Amino acid sequence: MNNVLENMLEKYDIKNSADEINAMKEIIQEIVICGLSRGGFFDEAAFYGGTALRIFYGLDRFSEDLDFALLKPNKNFELNKYFSFIEKEVQAYGLDLKIVTKEKTNNSNILSAFLKGDTKEHIFIFFPVEDISKSSSMKDIKIKFEVDINPPSGAKYEFKYKLLPSPHQVRLYDEPSQFAGKIHAILCRNWNLRTKGRDLYDYIFYLSKGTKVNLELIKSKLIESKVLNEKSEFNINILKEMLYKKFEKINYADAKEDVMPFIKDIDSLKLWNSDFFINISKDIKGII
């Protein structure tokens, strides 16, 4: 096995095949981020979302997608100009992964692409002594990355550094801005179509760290989603009331089922109900 991959695997407590696949996917995510950094991607974009939270802020759950937002709107942004840097980076570690683009709809602000590869082939690269002969039904690796090319205003940024797979710098939303994005997802995601317990799990993580929410950014996002308008009164107390109402409507059984494959401490979900989320939200603080 490549020495760098071996070093990156050392931080994982791997006990079963699911842990192996999650570790493999996360290392591939980090290789992609390194490639993007080498290509100058973070001169015009920032990293946010669950995977950013996992890799750079210590979230204790796995995350599937890579989410980015441009620093300023650019309808003509070309994501594919960075593909060669990603491909060069993954190939340097012996990985056989292809980038597939998703055609953008005319009214969408999101550019999407997928990194795809054969799971069994890559399990042998990461775990060369593994016997996976009984795992012929493994789904292909598929890592989605998305870029918001028309982001709302108000985000604040910070830079962080990683030494593996190779030293690189990444621009991220700072923690209050990350928290604003997560609260927006809780409030505005269509939960009837896709229950996202992962949003709730991340929400608890922010609260446990005492993270304040970027009020300018969450207001901009709520305006973009047509929940508020430019003249709407908005403050931390109004935001809390919006959250309380949302927490009363969530199907917590579905939310728990969504997040279970990504966490180790399943018992932590036992408290999940509307009273729990309403009560832990009372001390949220905002920052402008």
User: Could you report the per-residue pLDDT of 252-275, keeping only the tens digit for each?
Assistant: 999 999 999 999 899 999 999 999
Over pLDDT 90: what percentage of the chain? 83
Beta strands 110-117 and 98-102: pairing type? Answer: antiparallel
Does residue 132 carry a pLDDT above 90?
no
Over pLDDT 70: what percentage of the chain? 95
Q: Which of 24-28, 106-110, 263-267 has the lowest mean pLDDT?
A: 106-110
Choices 3.10.450.620, 3.40.50.150, 3.30.450.20, 1.10.8.420: CATH for 1-173: 3.10.450.620
Here the contacts of 258-264 (C-beta below 8 Å, separation 24 or greater) are 258/195, 258/196, 258/197, 258/198, 259/61, 259/197, 259/198, 259/200, 259/201, 260/197, 261/18, 262/22, 262/61, 262/62, 262/63, 262/198, 262/201, 263/60, 263/61, 263/62, 263/201, 264/60
Strand partners, 213: 286
Question: Residue 107: its pLDDT value, please?
Answer: 79
> For residue 216, which of 202, 240, 236, 199 has the smallest C-alpha distance?
236
pTM of the predicted model as reported, rounded to 2 decimal places = 0.92
208-216 average pLDDT score = 97
**Would you kindly state where each structural domain of the chain is located, as residue ranges?**
1-173, 174-288
> For residue 174, which of 69, 75, 28, 267 has the smallest C-alpha distance?
69
Position with higher pLDDT, 175 vs 18: 175
Give the integer Cα–Cα distance in Å for 105 and 223: 22
Does residue 137 carry a pLDDT above 60?
no
Does residue 136 carry a pLDDT above 50?
no
Give the integer Cα–Cα distance in Å for 182 and 78: 26
Question: What integer best gives the mean pLDDT of the chain?
Answer: 93
Are the CB atoms for 56 and 157 separated by under 8 Å?
no
